[in-house]
Structure 1
Amino acid sequence: MINRVVWIVLDSVGMGEMPDASKYGDVGANTIGNVSSRLGGLKLPNMEKLGLGNIEGMKNINKVDNPVGCYGRFAEASDGKDTTTGHWEMAGIQLDKAFPTYPQGFPKEIIDAFEKAIGTKTLGNKPASGTAILDELGEEHIKTGYPIVYTSADSVFQIAANEDVYSVEELYKMCQIARDMLVGQHAVARVIARPFVGKTAGNFTRTPNRRDFSLKPIHATVLDNLKSAGLNVMAVGKIEDIFQGAGITEAVHTTDNMDGVDKTLEYMRANKKGLIFTNLVDFDMKWGHRNNVEEYGRGLEAFDVRLAEIMAEMKDDDVLFITADHGCDPTTEGTDHTREYVPFLAYGKALSQGVDLKTRKTFSDMGQTVADIFNVEAIRNGESFLEMISER
């Protein structure tokens, strides 16, 4: 009997280019493998014990003879490589068409309408690194009071504002205005609030008060089905934002990866039946998008240390899933997400050991397996692998 699933998403920790990577400009991407190679190896004994290095196609991670977990890699069936697409697919939504992106900036009619709605002009309106655009436009923003609007290769409308110029609440209100406007052909996956502090270029720092304003999921997910069945769905980090609260029974936001682990452990100690769904965003936000290879590697090692605490906290009827939502290889020239397979690890006393799931066709297999574990209504996509990993 399994009474709880702890599902942890290591945001952007991909493991090698998918066959269609050339369509996305991502040939050669391999987030884990390339980071490990660049740093001369990574110390990940706990994930290796679960079978991380034994996953089909995994590079530069140690294999073990007798993994205590189940392991495999998952392909993304949806068109895209962003956070919303990846998380939605895990939960049962597959997208045939990627969310819109704006490599030349947003159309004039969008910016004009947004400026009219918020009552002020804006700065930027172009793809940019989130830290570089602060150095470029931060001082002008403080002088004029004009918020900074920018995007990336992902489907995002980002608004940056200094917390001394606009309160966090005022920034969130602007983001909600943008979210309400960006529908139809301009329905970007996320509007993101990017508050920062500092007075001069080179000294601006983004704060933990980021918030994502996602689209509402287009149909029910495994989260909705769990909630409808009376089970707890506890969201840690930006999970609540990604699903716009749909299917969530309680949620807590986090300041960084370690806070995310702490909050996950707190939910585990509360001993409620259902799903704990955690996103650890630093890999993506702080290191992947900033091409910070060394900190990316150190972040993986830091999570691996904390993984021992999570495993020690598990009860006999707990199951642990560890995966990712896309890649963001910091060794590449670009700073954007990369189209990659994602690793998957499962562990628990109710599961078999050393089961190789090989390569699965869709992230949705994870959500279908969660639905199967709790015997709730099946999701629209995916195939459960519960029978393969269940203790016999």
Structure 2
Amino acid sequence: MPLNRKVVIIVLDSAGIGELPDAHLYGDCGSNTLGNCSRVVGGLNLPHLEKMGLGNLTEIVGVPPVDTPNACFGKMAELSAGKDTTTGHWEIAGLVLDKPFPVFPAGFPTEIIEPFKQSIGRDILGNKVASGTAIIEELGVEHMRTGRPIVYTSADSVFQIAAHEEVVPLDELYRMCRIAREMLIGDYAVGRVIARPFVGSPGSFKRTANRHDYSVLPPRPTVLDLLHDHGLTVAAVGKINDIFAGQGISSSVHINDNMDGVDKTLSLIREDFNGLIFANLVDFDQQYGHRNDPAGYASALEEFDCRVPEIINALRPEDVLILTADHGCDPTTASTDHSREYVPLLVTGQAIRSGVDLGTRASFSDIAATLARFFELDFTVGEEFAGLITQ
């Protein structure tokens, strides 16, 4: 029988720690989300992540390396092509993509947009690459006047629809997204269709927490399916359920922001079940990375660091905490898009040895293989490190 434990994976969305060797292919030379952010703001104050070994992974101003980290520490390269949310999370769960999701740097072609407009019964605005906040400011007034939804994309594989909640009700916005998701298949199968509702008045528009992601279905089973099929609970926090289109998920909770995500993760840790808690804290990426706001990014990191002891203290003796990321989103570069970077790997728990250097892992999928090993299950993708770190 699987061991009596929970494994808690918390994805600090976009907390990259330096460019991958192929970053030049993505226009991301010089990207280092945490390192560059720390330099620009004059240093980060992350005492708990520092003790875990975060500063041993890359140069972070204010977070020096420590001689004996109290966690296992390493970094991971992304084996899949791409740098988007879906690709990163799927690889963490053991699904390495053979080819990247399609992107549309010139906007979506007529053969997609025209049928979409006919299906939703109205014209659209936008249809171009844009920052989510910038395009709302640019087209929000016209949207409110005409009722036309704002369609846009980015350097990532996304079809995003923005609408004011008082102009297009949420149910209608979600219906439009479901229509787009059904249409975007084959060569047009973007990773995610994203509902981007906003509120407010011209000059002070603000996106809300009612965002909803419609991901393409994973083409192969992940370690989430393996756990679920063996009777273990797979509890999703934040947008995890959306990323996997519900596949392999037992239960899911929505969150309003990072701290709400931590609160709900803590509640799940204290519940009586065995299995996986898989949480995504999106504010680093959505609120600060994409908006080129290093000060906000730094503040969010420090806010999370304050909660680390609380998370660790809630763990049972056999429980394991894994902190990682899914890509970078360097707020100090000219780009507002994700960046192709290594991600941190910090692992702790009472049953976990301290100070084990996990080196540079070849794939995010090493987490999936390790997760399976923790529950004495077989998973064929990735290289497990459970044997290196268990007491």
Give identity over the alignment, percent.
59
Which residue number in structure 2 is paired with residue 316 of structure 1?
317
Gaps of 5+ in 2: none
Q: Secondary structure at the match of 2:79?
A: coil
Aligned to 1:338: 339
1:282 aligns with 2:289: no
Separation in structure 2 between the aligned mates of residue 41 and residue 217 of structure 1, nearest angstrom: 39
The equivalent residue for 1:131 is: 133
Q: Matches of 1:95 and 1:26 in 2, distance apart?
A: 20
The amino acid that maps onto 2:290 is H
After superposition, the CA RMSD in angstroms is 0.9
Deviation per CA, 1:156-213, whole angstroms, max 9, x where unpaired?
Answer: 000001101111111111000000000000000000000001231x211101000000
Which residue in the other structure is 1:178 paired with?
180
2:75 matched to which residue of 1?
73
Please give the residue correspondences for 1:235-274 in structure 2 after superposition, counting only pairs within 5 Å.
235-274=236-275
Q: Give a deviation string over 1:254-285, Cα, whole Å, max 9, x none.
A: 01000000000010111311100000000000
Question: Structure 2 CA distance, aligned partners of 1:58 and 1:81?
Answer: 22
Cα contact 2:257–2:282 (8 A) shared by 1: yes
* 1:143 counterpart residue number: 145
- TM-score normalised according to structure 2 size: 0.98
Unaligned runs of 5+ in 1: none
> 1:117 maps to what in 2?
119
Tell me which residue corresponds to 2:154: 152
Distance 1:205 1:323 in 2: 29
Q: Which of residues 43, 46, 49 in structure 1 aligns to 2:48? A: 46
* 1:1-392 pair list within 5 angstroms: 3-55=5-57, 57-60=58-61, 61-200=63-202, 202-378=203-379, 380-391=380-391
Match of 1:330, SS? coil
Give, as a single letter, the amino acid of the residue that structure 1 aligns with 2:302.
E
Q: Residue type of the partner of 2:390?
A: S
* Cα distance in 1, alignment partners of residues 118 and 162 from structure 2: 18
| Structure-2 separation of matches of 1:249 and 1:243 | 12
Q: Is the 8 A contact 2:44 2:60 kept in 1?
A: no
Higher mean C-alpha deviation, range 312-321 or range 236-245? 312-321
Q: Distance in 1 between matches of 2:98 and 2:64?
A: 36
Contact kept, 8 Å, 1:92 with 1:364, in 2: the verdict is yes
CA displacement 1:299-343 (0-9 Å, x = unmatched)? 000000011110111111110000000000000001000000000
Any runs of at least 4 consecutive aligned residues in structure 1 with deviations exceeding 2 A, and if so which? Answer: 57-61
Output the CA distance in 1 between the equivalents of 2:313 and 2:272: 14
3-state DSSP class of the match of 2:151? strand
Whole-angstrom distance in 2 between the partners of 1:97 and 1:273: 34
**Residue 58 of structure 1: CA displacement?**
4.2
Cα distance in 2, alignment partners of residues 261 and 122 from structure 1: 37
Cα offset, 1:108, TM superposition? 1.0
1:2–1:319: 8 Å Cα contact kept in structure 2?
A: no
**CA contact under 8 A between 2:5 and 2:316: conserved in structure 1?**
no
* Structure 1 counterpart SS, 2:176: helix
* Distance in 1 separating the partners of 2:142 and 2:216: 31
1: CA distance between counterparts of 2:23 and 2:236? 31
User: CA shift at 1:59, angstroms?
Assistant: 4.0
8 Å Cα contact 2:70-2:354 kept in structure 1: yes
- Please state how far the C-alpha of 1:377 moved relative to its aligned partner: 3.3
**DSSP 3-state at the match of 1:327:** coil
What TM-score do the two structures reach when normalised by structure 1?
0.98
Task: Report the residue type matching 1:3 in the other structure.
Answer: R
